Amino acid sequence: MQQEQFLKILEKYRTGKATREETDLIKAYYNAFEFRPDILDSMSEMDQETLALEIKRNIDEQAPEKAEIVFPSAQRKLPVWSAYAAAVLVLLVSAFVFFRNTEKAEPEVVYVKSEKKVSKPNNFVQLPDGSTVILTAGSKIDYPDSFDNKKKREVYLSGEAYFDIQRNPAKPFIVHAGKLSTTVLGTAFNIRAWPGDESITVTVTRGRVKVSDQNKIFGTLIPDQQITYNTVNHEAVQQKVNAEKTVEWKSENLLFDDVTVFNAAKLIEERFSVKIRIDGERLKTQRFTTTFGKDETLESVLKSITEFNDARYELDPINKAVIISPN
């Protein structure tokens, strides 16, 4: 829907002349914004600033009153500015104009965000080098569009995440979390580094990582080892742990966020203890986005993946093997 058309319907709604279908449309647009505060997640800070200026200009063109715009914080930021951002612009302009114009309306036409906490899934993200990250709800990771022409693969984490890194000895992978840097060549590990916490924890499930700050190396971890760094006294303690227990959180509800079928299959193999074979290179690299509940069965997950990617699957429950093929 074009913005001009939407604003015409909005004006009819404000003056009580909208049809039932038009009223439902206004409510749907507003609720879509209210219950998707992470709508800006796919945009960099610069793109968000650009969007803010465009929204302000659009609002100023519609009415002389000024409106202050506050963006919800994003769980992660990716540098994407395309037709998707233009669609987001239309939705946000509509939502903000609607909110501004209904502030003084009667209570029955003012829609307020529910205080009820909505459970969000963990976020499965694929990095440019094929490495994968599972982020807990509310966590954020910053990384470049590409690691090409860079000597190191560097990312920045706020929150908690489980990393599964593609091995590349010539290009170390470094996770910056608070004052700590975790350096790997190819491994799987968990980092917990929430802003405001007095500790940062690094736990290894596979491979080997080096943990350091700007001044010294605190230790090198192997599987089932953990370092806890105190952000107040800048001291670190290394200990032996059950790493799988530490990363149990990643088995909760999961959002597959624009990932390839190949990387999704790797995670499903781990979660359901099966072996998956994907026939066809094209199918392996196809990307999709969907959400899986923690209690979903293997067949339910496979059905979702194949339906999204125009594929089919064969399941051998006795041998715990799966074949996914193009239709």
pTM of the model: 0.57
Candidates 103, 106, 95; CA nearest to 58 is 95
| Residue entry with tokens 């200990």 | 239
Stretch (H or E) spanning 260: strand 254-260
Alpha-carbon gap, residue 50 to 40, rounded angstroms: 12
Beta bridge partners of 141: 157
Alpha-carbon gap, residue 97 to 59, rounded angstroms: 7
CATH code for the part of the protein at 253-326:
3.55.50.30
Which residues of the chain does CATH 2.60.120.1440 include? 122-248
| Residue entry with tokens 């003012």 | 110
Candidates 298, 257, 267; CA nearest to 121 is 257
Q: Does domain 122-248 have CATH number 2.60.120.1440?
A: yes
Q: Which pLDDT value is given to residue 110?
A: 32
Alpha-carbon gap, residue 53 to 56, rounded angstroms: 5
Instruction: For 215, list phi and psi in degrees, rounded to 5.
Output: -105, -35
Q: Which pLDDT value is given to residue 218?
A: 95
Average pLDDT along the chain, 327 residues, taken 10 residues at a time: 58 67 60 44 53 47 40 39 43 48 40 36 90 92 91 94 92 94 90 93 95 92 96 94 91 87 92 93 92 88 91 92 94
- Is 230 within 8 Å of 100 (Cβ atoms)? no
Which residues of the chain does CATH 3.55.50.30 include? 253-326
Q: Which pLDDT value is given to residue 80?
A: 38
- Is 51 within 8 Å of 86 (Cβ atoms)? no
Alpha-carbon gap, residue 267 to 250, rounded angstroms: 10
Q: Which pLDDT value is given to residue 10?
A: 60
Alpha-carbon gap, residue 186 to 204, rounded angstroms: 11
